[in-house]
């Protein structure tokens, strides 16, 4: 599903020259990105401006001739989507990089060029020598990397590539342990290098190996240190070895994470006998009231999941900032609508609030309180409580989305509650009784009227 892809979260454009630099997983990142783009039917050239390990599972072109390189790359692209390029073979199964001026020639016929711009000797963090990174001057996207296994290690050659240079960059004495403030200085320095070398490129820092962090406090500190940085497009926290690699994505320009609202409106209204969402309270339909409250809140986008035959829903929100999604599998139950909603989320979405179309009395402040509580705690699930009873809507952090994709039938995200640690579910007290009220029967409707 594209919502979980690196390429989608990075908002990769139709043509890109992407350079990764730093430590903590450059090769893994670029190989994964290359496979995703290839899976979309795109052609990808993987190369380096320094040196890289020769891959075993991809066609490799090694030549010092630009003309020969172009011929060989075109030939391989007839049968393969990914080609690796180097200028010569080195010891230890490595290949030497190419001159940056070659990339302009390749960009004429290769839509995606992915470049390792420096080396880190497989260390999670490094110091930068004066001659590196070697950025492509026409790069469109720069990805400075850091591995969170750097946190707590001693500043020495065993743990850090070029430790003496990192010490100067981050203010660490030899033998001292790397702390969050040092990591922040490293990232700020890496961002500055990219911004000065390629002023027109987008910069997205990637903090990898999120599986090593148990509490979100470190995430908040790193995010805070980079918030508002003019060169940073967004900030990713990843576990690149996972099937779903992006754990957190933040826009530094936004004080709170981007949270989507998915309103589920594809039910059959079997107990009502008619489409209950079209019933009116005063002069507005139930669905219109439900969606309208979300639109007045701090959610980043509102998505309505409906049935193919509910054409009136599309007309109802015409001209409004509502994304319409049709669920052709609605008879499979609410879980199918959850999945359709997840597939439509914005690339920056860090959480999805799932709301029910038949809950018209949930005030905008309920959404706001859920979002603000989530922004403080970064729990996997955040939900409202009214007089001790759990209600809707519920905010699901992106780390829960893979589990939501596994749901089946007519039960929603509440199935996850039993499988999450208690400290990953955060309850927000509310004075809004609407979080408990939905409309299922004619009697419910008459009572609300």
Q: Are residues 263 and 245 in the same domain?
A: no
Query: Which tens digits make up the pLDDT trace of 330-348?
Result: 999 999 999 999 999 999 9
CATH number at residue 293: 3.90.550.10
219: region left, alpha or beta (phi > 0 left; psi from -120 to 50 alpha): alpha
What is the C-alpha separation between 119 and 114, in angstroms, rounded? 15
The whole-number average pLDDT for the span 271-280 is 72
Percent of the chain with pLDDT over 70: 96
Strands (E), 204-345: 206-208, 235-238, 246-250, 259-265, 280-281, 284-285, 301-306, 322-326
Q: Are residues 387 and 274 in the same domain?
A: yes
Q: Are residues 298 and 436 in the same domain?
A: yes
**Of the candidates 204, 223, 250, which is a domain's last residue?**
250
**Of the candidates 192, 225, 250, which is a domain's last residue?**
250
Residue 143's pLDDT is: 98
Q: Examine the pLDDT at 273 and tell me if it is beyond 60.
A: no
**Of the candidates 193, 215, 250, which is a domain's last residue?**
250
Q: Are residues 343 and 234 in the same domain?
A: no
* 73-85 per-residue burial string, b: 16 or more CB within 10 A, e: under 16: beebbeeebbbbb
Residue 252's pLDDT is: 87
Residue 274's pLDDT is: 64
Q: Which residues are bridge partners to 3 per DSSP?
A: none
Number of domains in the chain: 2
- Which pTM was predicted? 0.94
Query: Which tens digits make up the pLDDT trace of 200-254?
Result: 999 999 999 998 886 788 899 999 998 878 889 899 999 999 999 999 999 988 8
Query: Which tens digits make up the pLDDT trace of 391-409?
Result: 999 999 999 999 999 999 8
Q: Are residues 178 and 284 in the same domain?
A: no
Q: Are residues 239 and 373 in the same domain?
A: no
Q: Are residues 208 and 276 in the same domain?
A: no
Residue 242 in tokens? 């996972």
Q: Residue 432 sits in which domain range?
A: 259-448
Residue 442's pLDDT is: 66
């Amino acid at each position: 599903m594209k919502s979980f892809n690196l390429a989608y979260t990075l908002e990769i454009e139709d043509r890109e020259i992407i350079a990764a630099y730093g430590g903590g997983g450059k090769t893994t990142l670029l190989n994964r990105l290359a496979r995703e783009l290839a899976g979309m039917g795109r052609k990808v050239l993987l190369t380096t401006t320094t040196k890289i390990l020769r891959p075993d599972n991809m066609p490799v072109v090694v030549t010092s001739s630009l003309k020969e390189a172009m011929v060989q790359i075109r030939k391989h692209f007839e049968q393969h989507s990914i080609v690796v390029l180097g200028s010569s073979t080195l010891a230890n199964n490595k290949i030497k990089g190419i001159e940056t001026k070659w990339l302009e020639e390749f960009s004429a016929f290769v839509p995606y060029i992915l470049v390792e711009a420096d080396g880190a000797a497989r260390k999670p963090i490094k110091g930068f020598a004066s001659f590196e990174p070697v950025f492509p001057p026409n790069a469109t996207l720069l990805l400075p990397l850091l591995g969170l296994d750097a946190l707590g290690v001693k500043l020495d050659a065993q743990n850090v590539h070029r430790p003496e240079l990192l010490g100067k960059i981050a203010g660490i004495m030899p033998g001292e342990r790397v702390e969050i403030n040092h990591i922040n200085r490293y990232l700020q320095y890496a961002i500055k290098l990219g911004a000065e070398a390629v002023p027109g490129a987008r910069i997205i820092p990637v903090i990898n190996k999120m599986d090593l962090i148990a509490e979100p406090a470190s995430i908040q500190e790193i995010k805070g240190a980079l918030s508002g940085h003019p060169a940073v497009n967004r900030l990713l926290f990843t576990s690149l070895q996972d099937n779903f690699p992006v754990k957190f994505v933040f826009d530094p320009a936004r004080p709170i994470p981007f949270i989507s609202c998915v309103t589920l409106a594809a039910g059959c209204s079997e107990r009502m006998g008619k489409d209950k969402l079209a019933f009116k309270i005063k002069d507005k339909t139930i669905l219109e009231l439900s969606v309208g409250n979300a639109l007045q809140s701090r959610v980043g986008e509102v998505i309505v999941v409906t049935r193919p035959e509910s054409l009136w829903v599309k007309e109802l929100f015409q001209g409004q900032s509502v994304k319409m999604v049709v669920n052709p599998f609605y008879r499979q139950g609410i879980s199918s609508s959850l999945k359709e909603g997840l597939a439509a989320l914005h690339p920056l979405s860090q959480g999805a609030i799932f709301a029910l179309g038949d809950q018209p009395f949930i005030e905008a402040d309920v959404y706001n309180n859920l979002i603000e509580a989530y922004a403080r705690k970064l729990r996997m699930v955040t939900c409202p409580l009214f007089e001790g009873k759990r209600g809707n809507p519920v905010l699901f952090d992106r780390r829960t989305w893979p589990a939501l994709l596994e749901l089946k039938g007519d039960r929603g995200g509440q199935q996850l509650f039993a499988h999450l640690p208690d400290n990953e579910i955060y309850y927000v007290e509310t004075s809004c009784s609407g979080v408990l009220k939905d409309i299922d029967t004619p009697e419910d409707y008459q009572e609300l009227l």
